[in-house]
Amino acid sequence: MRERLERYQVVAYLVAVLAGLLVGTRSPALAESLAVGLWPLLGALLYATFTQVPLLALRRALVNARFLSAAVLGHFVAIPLLVWLLVQGLPAEPALRLGVLLVLLVPCTDWFLSFTHLGGGDTPTAIAFTPLSLLLQLALLPLYLWLFLGQAELAGLLQRELLLAFGGLILLPLAAAWLTERWAAGRPRRERGVAALGWLPVPLLALVLFVVAAGQVGQVREFLGLLLWLVPLFVAFLGAALLLARWLARAFRLPARQGRVLAFGFGSRNSFVVLPLALALPAGLEMAVAVVVIQSLVELVGMLAFLHLVPRLFPDAAQAAGTR
């Protein structure tokens, strides 16, 4: 039954997104009230995901030099260069360019872990990389903004949001999952209870998608004219991220499951963290909010496509043998 749930997860996610868009259109007040539950839902999603991961494997993942080299090169050298190239084709509108830079320069540190897990990636390796990813974001984002836009003063606000998100969405669920693992160790009844939490990631992710779609449809409607520019740009980014992951996985001779981590990591951005920052920007930069919203909705659809594409592009040994 659980295998069937995961097999049809993409259908569940698409239904959740469509239902969210409908609710956001018909009942904006309800959608706004639902948005309060986004971070608790993300925290619950990551806790349920972490409980299904052998956390003791994190130490081994931390010393995986080949993966760490590929991930750092991709996230913090290749992708910033790609983003800079993509921005050159946009109109010379500061708020538009700022929004694109904010949302594409910062790698995701939350729900990409769940997509990695659901897509058959090496989740312990993904979790182990997250603290390093956050530290590099905090250190390099001021430099990126200064080089690309001359807006280093905005980095301090973003750093606070990143730290809050890391504490609330990564450290707390991870600590709770570790304590749960210790509590259940060696006790079959408790271990069965922890295993039963494996049913939760799919419905919880569907709820997250519902809330995001419901809460952000209004922003998209307000700046519909941006869709002409941004949707092709964000789709191109997802395609380039997928190709980059495949190339780096081959160049560094990574196992298929670690290649999947690169694919989901490169394709997903920290839109849930950047959105509060964009909302706090000074008057006249409201367009940046719409940019973040549109990217997050494009990414939702993109990650659903990734769940189908990534296992095919990065087949494990059993899959590769079955295709011969």
Task: Grade residue 94 by pLDDT with cuts at 50, 70 and 90.
Answer: confident
Where do we find the tokens 């010379």?
Answer: 92
Q: What distance in Å separates the CA atoms of residue 70 and residue 249, rounded to the nearest whole number? A: 7
Average pLDDT rounded to a whole number, residues 70-75: 96
Average pLDDT rounded to a whole number, residues 274-303: 77
> In this predicted model, which residue has the larger pLDDT, 247 or 297?
247
Q: What is the pLDDT of residue 237?
A: 97
pLDDT for 232 beyond 60: yes
Q: What is the pLDDT of residue 59?
A: 61
Q: What is the pLDDT of residue 281?
A: 66
pLDDT for 154 beyond 60: no
Average pLDDT rounded to a whole number, residues 267-291: 74
Let me know how long the chain is: 324
Question: Per residue in 8-19, pLDDT tens?
Answer: 777 788 888 889
The residues spanned by each domain of the chain are 41-174+218-311
Q: What distance in Å separates the CA atoms of residue 161 and residue 170, rounded to the nearest whole number? A: 13
Task: Grade residue 312 by pLDDT with cuts at 50, 70 and 90.
Answer: very high
Q: What is the pLDDT of residue 323?
A: 46
Instruction: Answer yes or no: are the C-beta atoms of 266 and 244 closer than 8 Å.
Output: yes
Question: Per residue in 44-64, pLDDT tens?
Answer: 888 887 787 666 555 655 668
In CATH, 41-174+218-311 is 3.90.198.10: no
- Of 111, 132, 2, 116, residue with least CA distance to 46: 111
Q: What distance in Å separates the CA atoms of residue 254 and residue 269, rounded to the nearest whole number? A: 22
What the block records as the tokens of 294 is 């549109």
Question: Per residue in 169-196, pLDDT tens?
Answer: 677 888 888 899 889 888 888 888 888 8
Q: What distance in Å separates the CA atoms of residue 179 and residue 190, rounded to the nearest whole number? A: 12
Q: Give the up-direction half-sphere exposure of residue 160: CA atoms within 13 A in the CB hemisphere.
A: 7
What the block records as the tokens of 174 is 């991870």
pLDDT for 252 beyond 90: yes
Question: Per residue in 187-230, pLDDT tens?
Answer: 888 888 888 888 888 888 889 888 888 887 776 777 777 777 88
